[in-house]
Every structure is written in structure tokens, then in C-alpha cells.
Amino acid sequence: MVSSLRARQKEDRRIRIVASAKTLFEKKGYDKTTIENIAEAAGVSGVTVHNYYGTKAGVLLALVIESDQKLIARLQESLPTNADDLVALTLAFAHTILDHAITNLDKVIWRQVIAAVTTSTGTQLSKAYFKLDQQLAYVLVQRIEALQMAGKLPATIDPVHLGKALFHLQNARFIQFISSDDCSQAEIETRLRNDLTALFAVPAV
């Protein structure tokens, strides 16, 4: 009973820390927000924030991990299971990711996310982030398998390799999107459409 109460209290603190960090990042910006700011807003000590997440970058990754969990659920629910073709499927996948990402965090903070992932390689949080990335890719893999079973893709195609390749392609366009304040979502989706059209127009050797 005591242990379950402690677990609930610990989870409540985690929720408050991440929620407070998101509010502060949006209001003050990532660079101007400190661990102490987050701790004060969450009603905990700076030591508690440090013990849970290590650094401000760790808090940021925790925020993105929480967001990605919601994104996976959204994709599973909304991504068509009976798409007509691979281009339409991949574009729908990318559109949902872009829309979710920019709704939850602005481009400046997403740049900090990429930096945090790069500099935090090997940590528990970065491993969790990359695990969720794999789960995102596998949502696409599952839909490709459905296309294959419906006879809309050749049986010789490896859906896992293809799904991961398409995920990495849209991920590259996503990074291009967040890297420039002048690049719109519509523009990046057009570029991705052109990528996919060009790739699938190449005849098999």
C-alpha cells in the first residue's frame, strides 16, 4: 500500500515536471528556461528534477517521448489500413507526424530536441526516444504489410526494410522542415511527394 502510494506520488511529480517544462519552454524559450524554473513551477526541488531527468535536455526528451506515445496512438487510429498506394500512405503518415509535431512544440524547440538526442546518445532517455522511433516506423510497416496482403504490392518486397526506408526519408524531410523558419508544412510535403514519385518511377533492374 505504501509502495503504491509512493509510486503514484513519483508519477505525479514526473507529470508535473514535464507539463511545467513544456509551458516554460513555450513561454520563455528553451535557452532561457532553467532546471530551477522548472522545479519551482512543478512544486518540487531542483534536486528532484535532476534525479529524475539528469539535465534540462533530459526533461526535453521526456517531453518528446510523452508526445511520441500519443502520436503512435493517433497513427494507429487514423492511418488508413486500406490505402490505394504507397505514395498516398507515406504522405498520410508524414502529414500526421508533421501536424502533431508542430502542434505540440515549435521549430526552435524541435531543433533543441535533435541536439539533445545527438548529445545524449546511450542514456536511458535517448534509448527510449529511439525505441519510440522504431515503433513509429513499424506503424508504417504494418500498413505496408496490409497493402501487400491486398495484392497492391509485390510479394517479393520486404515490408520491414521498405517501411524503415520510407520512415527515414520522411524523417530527413522533417529535419529539413524544422531547420528553417521559412519552410512550410505544405512545402515539405510537396518535396516528400516528389521524392516518392521519383523513387517509385525508377524501374527494377
Q: Mind listing the pLDDT tens digit for each residue in 63-77?
A: 988 888 899 999 999
Q: What is each CA distance from 60 to 25, 87, 113, 125, 194, in whole angstroms?
A: 9, 33, 7, 10, 33
Enter the CATH code of domain 1-54. 1.10.10.60
pTM of the predicted model, to two decimals? 0.87
With contact defined as beta carbons under 8 Å apart, do 30 and 23 qualify?
no
Boundaries of every domain in the chain: 1-54, 58-201
State the architecture of 58-201 in CATH terms.
Answer: Orthogonal Bundle (1.10)
11-68 per-position pLDDT tens digit: 899 999 999 999 999 899 898 999 999 999 999 999 999 999 988 988 998 898 888 8
